[in-house]
Each structure stands twice: as C-alpha cells, then as structure tokens.
C-alpha cells in the first residue's frame, strides 16, 4: 500500500455536489492499494500514520502526531498511486489491486485508523471526487508498505 499524506488546515471531499467527508486541522491521506497487499499492510500503514510526528508542539518542533494535535483524517482511495511510470508516457496501472480487493483493503485501512483512535472520514470508493484542501506547512509525506518508507 502507498499513501501520500498532506498536513492540512482543512480538507473536504465532494461527490455529486454534496460534501461527504471532511476534517479540520489534520491529515488528508490518499491511499493506493497494490495487487498482493494484505490486511497486515493496512494495519501497519494506519499505525504509522497515527503515530507519525509531523505536527508542531508548543515549541514549534514537529513532535506531535495527529492524535496529539487533536486532528482528523480525511482518507481518499486513489488507485493512480499504483501507477508504473518507468516506461513511456502513459502510466500503467497493472500493479493496482482489482477494484473489489482494493475496496476491501481501503476499508480495512480505515477501520485500522479508527482502531488507532483517529477521527477518520472518507470519500466514496470508485467515485469521481472533488477534493478541496488547504495545506499547512506545506508538509507532505509518502509512505509505502512495500518499501518500508
């Protein structure tokens, strides 16, 4: 699994003109699922995100995690994170999990975040989503369970 995290002041996702998920101060997390990813990958990724110290403490140092900062998480499924761009100019998505498996893994990831006591909202799997966010920092981090990033 691969995730791109962005520390945000706020983020919201809209589907068919209606906001279906949002968070104020916290993390906007895009999640890509690869063929062969397991529930253990979802749990590992969620635990890493929940504990990642990328929020400032009272001294301005990045020592707090999203829970310490009392932030929320807006998680968005994003199969394009599995793009293979090594050849040519058109990305290949052959490494991405099939939709049924990807949705199950994304849902396992969201449940694992909630098990980590993270306030979590989501977009809608497979839908065309409009994401509105305001970056804070900017602080952006890429995590990949396959490369142990």
21 with 89: CB under 8 angstroms?
A: no
* Domains in the chain: boundaries: 2-144
The CATH code for residues 2-144 is 3.50.80.10
Q: How far apart are CA 2 and CA 10, in angstroms?
A: 22
Model confidence at 148: pLDDT above 80: no
1 with 37: CB under 8 angstroms?
A: yes
Token output for 37: 């990813």
Give bridge partners of residue 143 from the DSSP assignment.
3
What pTM was computed for the model?
A: 0.95
Residues, the chain? 149
pLDDT single digits (tens) 41-93:
999 999 999 999 999 999 999 999 999 999 999 999 999 999 999 999 999 99
Model confidence at 149: pLDDT above 70: no
| pLDDT averaged over every residue in the chain | 97
The H or E element spanning position 40 is: helix 39-51
Task: Tell me the CA distances in angstroms from 109 to 58, 82, 122, one per residue in order.
Answer: 30, 16, 11
């Amino acid at each position: 699994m691969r995730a791109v995290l962005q520390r945000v002041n706020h983020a919201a996702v809209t589907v068919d003109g209606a906001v279906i998920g949002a968070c104020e101060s916290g993390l906007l997390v895009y999640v890509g699922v690869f063929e062969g990813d397991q529930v253990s990958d979802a749990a590992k990724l969620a635990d890493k995100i929940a504990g990642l110290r990328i929020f400032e403490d009272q001294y301005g140092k990045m020592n707090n995690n999203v829970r310490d900062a009392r932030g929320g998480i807006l998680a968005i499924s994003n199969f394009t994170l599995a793009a293979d761009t090594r050849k040519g100019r058109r990305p290949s998505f052959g490494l991405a999990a099939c939709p049924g498996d990807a949705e199950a893994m994304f849902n396992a990831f969201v449940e694992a975040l909630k098990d980590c006591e993270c306030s979590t909202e989501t977009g809608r799997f497979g839908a065309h989503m409009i994401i509105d966010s305001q970056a804070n920092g900017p602080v952006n981090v890429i995590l990949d369970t396959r490369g142990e990033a």
